[in-house]
Structure 1
Amino acid sequence: MMNFRSTFWLNSLLALVAIPLLAACSFAEDEDQVRVTVIEDGSTHINPVGTRLTFASSTMRAAMAKGLVGLDQEGRVVPALAARWIVSEDGLSYIFRLFDAKWDDGRQITAERVARLLRSRFSELRKSRLQYDVSVVDEVVSMTGRVIEIRLDAPHPNFLQLLAQPEMGLFRAGHGAGPMRLLSEEDGIKLNRFDEPSQEDEEEEAEQEDDRWVSLRSETAAAAIARYRAGGVQVVLNGKYHHLPLVDAADISSSDLRLDPVAGLFGLRFIRAEGFWAVPGNREILAMAINRPALLTSFPGVSAWQSRLKIIPEALDVEGINTYPDWASMTMEARTAFARNHVTRWKASEGRITPLTIALSDAAGADILFKRIQSDLRRVGLDARRVGLGKNADVELMDEIAPYDSAQWFLKQLTCTQTPVCLNDADAKIAEADAATNLQIKARLYAEIEKILVEHYNFIPIAVPIRWSLAKQGQRGFSVNSRGWHPLNTLVGIPIS
């Protein structure tokens, strides 16, 4: 529970932000004109060009620059530039037939140009969050005026989901192909329906002007929540666990808090292992000591936050391989007692144990998380110290959602390229799994790797990630989904193709 001081501070902050918004931002409801704000903890500048896109920038890119396929409001892969596609039996060839369409400057979209843009984009994305995925692409070939083929080095069962990521939207010399176009940037970004350029005169175009539009802005969580409460926006996107106390303080209706059932990694990743924490068996004590149910129920407004004891979601498990830790069936009381005895013996033989340093953001939700973990560690004779993001620490909070449903993604977040506390043997086995062409063999190798990493304890799972939005029930074109993705075009009834 939050104490009085925290609640007072949060309410005061929200009130200060909301005062000017109440006077200036309220608007009449119109489902054809939707205002959206995206929560960003860092830069609030929106730029859809590049490879390391913020959530707001990704949202804008997906609205203006279609890829071969896209995601709808349910998180499903749907046609975009490509009208249809076929996949070879061995999973190494994807053939796409393009729609007969144009870029927003009137030039015809051709397979040759799309293939060229894709080759360039795959190369650029080798330095992005999708770096491991795009490395599987061997060749992109234009076959006729409207057909292209993408050839892979090894099967990637989730390749269509990869192609649907916002980074895969294509710009040609700054020109996209919709489903929306930039209308203005005077008061935030404003986008409306993309219509292929025609030969009609300006008067005829004016008569047929589509009055549906979406405005997009990016701001801090406090400002976004206050703006929503004041009626300045209909939709807030990209809320995370550490913003939840602000929603509670703002007294937002629980029916407006929309939780996406995403998969991903939420836990403590070791980035330094010294002293007591250099031993995997001691890092296991941290995993055992955390009372996950008590931690998760400390957050307001979330009653079904699921805890995690393993790396890969159960839905992707391979039959016959148990990747849960050995202590998974123990009660919390038994785990605490075991951990306390282990720590007592260590101190008796090795001496004092330095507190675990945890790098966390400066946010109310991070305060709750740290206090819970620190309390759990103290129960077993350990302690924790908090430092800011980017400071020297033993562990950092990892809070990432998976872009697609694959064991590969989860494992590759824990390789030696991601953290110095790693296993070269696990990395080598991941490379072996990536190269496997038999999908059953590939899945079994990934399961064996998970077992190795679970016992290494370079990552301590806590829960599934939290991603939330604010939107009224019945908001057109908005649905919670497992991808945590909410396209702008569907909010005003504009199809992607």
Structure 2
Amino acid sequence: MMNFRSTFRRNSIFAAFAVTMLGACGFAGDEDQVRVTVVEDGETRINPIGTRLNFASATMRASIAKGLVGLDEEGRVVPALAARWIVSDDGLSYIFRLFDARWDDGREITAERVARLLRERFVELRNSRLQHDVSVVDEVVSMTGRVIEIKLDAPHPNFLQLLAQPEMGLFRAGHGAGPMRLLSEDNGIKLTQFEEPSQEEQDGEEEDERWVSLRSEPAATAIARYRAGGAQVVLNGKYHHLPLVDAADISSGDLRLDPVAGLFGLRFIRANGFWAVPGNREILAMAINRPALLTSFPGVSAWQSRLKIIPEALDVEGINAYPDWAAMTMQDRIVFARNHVSRWKASEGPVMPLAIALPDAAGADILFKRIQSDLRRVGLDARKVALNQRADVQLLDEIAPYDSAQWFLKQFTCMKTTVCLNDADSRIAEADAATNLQIKARLYAEIEIILIDHYNFIPIAVPIRWSIARQGQRGFAVNPRGWHPLNPLVGIPIS
């Protein structure tokens, strides 16, 4: 029998201890001075340089190093370095006209320099989460002092969303162009209004009193800091932190869930014995009682389950990628799966427990116990292992950076996992190269069917991304990108 109460009690004690330790951190703030803390499970150091940025580092980079475009608090693409742009009818050319602006050392921003920085950045990002996306760029050229053109090998309907990613923020010799600038690094990162140095010197304006402090820390500490009044906004919460939010008794109005798209499920990274057969991996997909699993988590009432890879909003009319058993009742699925496993054991022998790599967190324990219980009902078993231990499957919990079937399918190529299909990889390459958008979409839909039948990924739900912010917090809004820029929090425009 699963005992979740002991897990909650243990974390309640830990959260209460953390709140006590941070009890003296409260402050009387105003809307022009906002303290933000980012939840990080791993490295908490904030470093906006490089290609593999944690969430806090990406947040800082987007604050001090604009790209051509950016994302606002509602997840919409907005002008940044570029004042406006046009896209060619064939989708292969993007032409941007830049604002008249300067870097934070006072040097003028020119099309020639931006084009050079973009070329360098596209090369650097071939070793990042955006590696597949930047490969579509053929050429970047400066056309005049204020205009640049980006040419693509094939249409990328979501290219502006790609350019708005924080990794696309540009530094020139370490200098960004806002919308904020570094004020200090005492007791966390403090950022304030970006002003071009020449203008500041000329006008003699006083220091802008608007600022945002940014820090990153483990979930329990971040939640405790919020409870103690030491932070007004907490960002980047995930499913496995939810029991801590519940234990800290955070107001339901303060817990904000972003309606993100992405992948949340089990990706096979090793397949031996029973699990080497796609039809057997299908049994795992059938056995998981998704509604029961999702309702086991406190504080979430509308977590949506998933049975397929690509979100329904991106489906192609006339193509059904749902598994054949999708219409079966849960009880019928259990009976079918149990009989299948019994026949296998009778002919092939015992089945080793499925090794699932998960974080060391209360929410991950809930997830594991539910999956283990579901597998035991059909005659199988599972064991939880640490993220750095040998496993059969790992939990894939990622937000899609843009709205495209391409991103979802590329998480299951042979570059991502050894449990893959070369044929699917070839078909993905064919779809990427297609210039007709309808043909491209149909090819991606057909590839999804191939991957669904292969069962190297077992979808469970949409990802959970939560923040904590009081009602009426300026510049904060839940959004489908799960992205929350700092500058709107204190009323600083991006450009």
The number of aligned residues is 494
Cα distance, 1:201 vs. partner?
A: 4.6
Cα distance in structure 2, aligned partners of 1:439 and 1:233: 46
Cα distance, 1:210 vs. partner?
A: 1.2
Alignment-mate amino acid for residue 208 of structure 2 = D
1:191 aligns with 2:191: yes
Superposed counterparts of 1:50-199, under 5 Å: 50-198=50-198
Q: Which residue of 1 aligns with 2:276?
A: 278
Change in CA separation of 1:2 and 1:262 when aligned onto 2, cut-off 3 Å: farther
Change in CA separation of 1:119 and 1:339 when aligned onto 2, cut-off 3 Å: same
Q: Which residue of 1 aligns with 2:291?
A: 293
Superposed counterparts of 1:462-477, under 5 Å: 462-477=460-475
Cα distance in structure 2, aligned partners of 1:67 and 1:198: 22
1:447 aligns with 2:442: no
Q: Which residue of 1 aligns with 2:455?
A: 457
Q: Which residue of 2 aligns with 1:6?
A: 7
Cα distance, 1:390 vs. partner?
A: 1.9
Cα distance in structure 2, aligned partners of 1:198 and 1:439: 47
Cα distance in structure 2, aligned partners of 1:20 and 1:30: 24
Preserved CA contact (<8 Å) 2:4 2:366:
no
Cα distance in structure 1, aligned partners of 2:7 and 2:320: 42
Cα distance, 1:4 vs. partner?
A: 3.8
SS of 1:231 mapped into structure 2: coil
Cα distance in structure 2, aligned partners of 1:57 and 1:3: 34
Q: From 348, 351, 362, give the equivalent of 1:350.
A: 348
Preserved CA contact (<8 Å) 2:67 2:81:
yes
SS of 1:413 mapped into structure 2: helix
Q: Which residue of 2 aligns with 1:376?
A: 374
Alignment-mate amino acid for residue 64 of structure 2 = M
1:4-63 alpha-carbon deviations (Å, 9 max, x no partner):
42222112111221123111x111130000000000000100000000000000000000
Cα distance, 1:208 vs. partner?
A: 2.8
SS of 1:97 mapped into structure 2: strand
1:308-327 alpha-carbon deviations (Å, 9 max, x no partner):
00000000000111000000
Cα distance in structure 2, aligned partners of 1:426 and 1:388: 30
Change in CA separation of 1:79 and 1:381 when aligned onto 2, cut-off 3 Å: same
SS of 1:328 mapped into structure 2: helix
Cα distance, 1:3 vs. partner?
A: 3.6
Superposed counterparts of 1:252-271, under 5 Å: 252-271=250-269
Cα distance in structure 2, aligned partners of 1:8 and 1:395: 29
Cα distance in structure 1, aligned partners of 2:113 and 2:80: 16
Q: TM-score, normalised by structure 1?
A: 0.98
Preserved CA contact (<8 Å) 2:71 2:77:
yes
Cα distance in structure 1, aligned partners of 2:213 and 2:200: 27
Cα distance in structure 1, aligned partners of 2:167 and 2:466: 21
Cα distance in structure 2, aligned partners of 1:367 and 1:200: 54
1:465-484 alpha-carbon deviations (Å, 9 max, x no partner):
00000000110000000000
1:188-215 alpha-carbon deviations (Å, 9 max, x no partner):
000000011125559x63x532100000
Percent identity between matched residues is: 82
Q: From 429, 432, 436, give the equivalent of 1:431.
A: 429
Q: Which runs of 5+ in 1 are unaligned?
A: none
Cα distance in structure 2, aligned partners of 1:200 and 1:216: 25
Alignment-mate amino acid for residue 34 of structure 1 = V
Cα distance in structure 1, aligned partners of 2:115 and 2:381: 55
Alignment-mate amino acid for residue 36 of structure 2 = V
Alignment-mate amino acid for residue 47 of structure 2 = N
Q: Which residue of 1 aligns with 2:486?
A: 488
Cα distance, 1:296 vs. partner?
A: 0.1
Cα distance in structure 2, aligned partners of 1:366 and 1:99: 47
Q: Which runs of 5+ in 2 are unaligned?
A: none
Cα distance in structure 1, aligned partners of 2:457 and 2:74: 31
Cα distance in structure 2, aligned partners of 1:214 and 1:407: 36
Q: Which residue of 2 aligns with 1:394?
A: 392
1:285-314 alpha-carbon deviations (Å, 9 max, x no partner):
000000000000000000000000000000
Alignment-mate amino acid for residue 13 of structure 1 = F
SS of 1:391 mapped into structure 2: coil
> Does 63-72 or 191-200 show the bigger shift?
191-200
